[in-house]
Amino acid sequence: MKFDIITIFPAIFDAYLSESILKRAIQKGIFEAKVHNLRDFTKDRHKTVDDSPYGGGPGMVMKAAPFFDAVRAIKSDGADTLTIMLSPQGKRFDQNTALRLSKEQRRLLFLCGRYEAIDERVRDALVDEEISIGDYVLTGGELPCLVIIDGIVRLLPGALGDEGSAREESFSWGLLDYPHFTRPPEFEGLKVPEVLLSGNHREISRWRRKEALRRTLHRRPDLLERSPLSDEDRRLLAKIKEEER
Ligand code: 9D3
């Protein structure tokens, strides 16, 4: 998979892409990311990327021309491209979006904004999709872009161990995770649940599913409504509610 990124802060990407799973995925040839400095596509001495808004008001607006020139230069290789702008006005990024984008055949081109906004003509002429990562105010599109790339790359074949992918599909979809423990069996008087030390794998699976359901019920009941629950899940949920009455 190929990502191109347009930003005025390329160093933000270099740091994150050179660590851990993303670094390894690049080394394995699973994806590549080219980061383009928007200022390289300006034509004035001061490399100006912003200007005051028509109509007045606070803050600065990113100029259209550098984006147009950057996108044109990147697309000049003729490769099929899906252009995504990170924006608070976009559709909310979720696991379904990550999965859909991970299956894209096209190169993904991300436009990151700073300041108050980007000139609307960029969106009108160049953008296929606008994505937000949630309802809170950040200072720009760079972190959202990395969040989205991170969410996509871990779904690409070979990026994680095979272990990860099997678990992804079957067990955890739509529920919060169950509690995890590692050695020692008792730490500062705090014990690991007995069932996890029992070696009884049927019992362990059942306990984990039940605790995942319990946590989801308590912390994210909104997820339970949309999650595909089995008959066994419904029995376990009824039991949890019974036990907690
Ligand atoms: C307080 C400024 N806002 C006025 C209503 C507008 C605004 C402009 C620019 C708010 C945020 C930003 C910068 N944010 C992004 O570019 C951004 C973002 C975000 O802030 N939250 C969640 N997802 C995203 S994607 C891009």
Smallest CA-to-CA distance from 129 within 71, 83, 75, 95 is with 83
- The atom of ligand 1 lying closest to the CA of 115 is 9
How far is ligand 1, taken at its centre, from the CA of residue 59, in Å?
12
Write down the pTM of the prediction.
Answer: 0.96
CA–CA distances in Å: residue 76 to residues 69, 79, 152, 166, 198? 10, 8, 25, 39, 61
Q: What is the mean pLDDT of each run of 10 residues along the chain (245 residues)?
A: 98 97 98 98 98 98 98 98 98 98 98 98 99 98 98 97 60 86 98 98 98 98 95 97 96
ω into 184 cis (within 30 of 0): yes
Q: Which two tokens stand for residue 176?
A: 């919060």
Nearest CA-CA partner of 103 in 153, 143, 167, 146: 153
Whether residue 216 contacts residue 176, with contact meaning beta carbons closer than 8 Å, is answered with: yes
Would you say the CB of residue 132 lies under 6 angstroms from ligand 1?
A: yes
Q: Where do the H-state alpha helices sit in the chain?
A: 10-17, 20-27, 64-75, 95-102, 120-126, 142-153, 162-170, 201-219, 221-226, 231-243
Tell me the CA–centroid distance for residue 97 and ligand 1, in Å. Answer: 19
* Domain spans of the chain, in order of start: 2-153, 170-244
Burial class (CB in 10 A: 0-12, 13-18, 19+), 187: exposed
Chain centroid, CA 98 distance in Å: 6
Cβ 88 under 6 angstroms from ligand 1: yes
CA geometry: angle 65, 43, 54, nearest 5 deg: 40
Residue in this structure with the two tokens 């300006």, named with its chain if needed: 42
- Match domain 2-153 to its CATH number in 3.40.350.10, 3.60.10.10, 3.40.1280.10, 3.20.20.70: 3.40.1280.10
CA separation for the pair 29, 240 (Å, rounded): 46
Q: pLDDT value at position 163? A: 53
Ligand 1 contact, 174 CB (< 6 A): no
What pLDDT was estimated at residue 167? 58
30 C-alpha to ligand 1 centroid (Å): 30
| Long-range pairs of 121-124 with CB within 8 A, sequence gap ≥ 24 | 121/64, 122/62, 122/64, 122/67, 122/68, 122/85, 123/85, 123/87
Q: What is the residue whose two structure tokens read 């606070």?
A: 58
Pocket test for ligand 1, best of 12, 87, 118 (most atoms within 8 A of CB): 87
Dist CA 217 CA 194 (whole Å): 23
Residue among 85, 119, 138, 148 whose CB has most ligand 1 atoms within 8 A, to mutate: 138
Q: Which fold has domain 170-244?
A: Trp Operon Repressor; Chain A (1.10.1270)
How far is 22 from 31, CA to CA, in rounded Å? 9
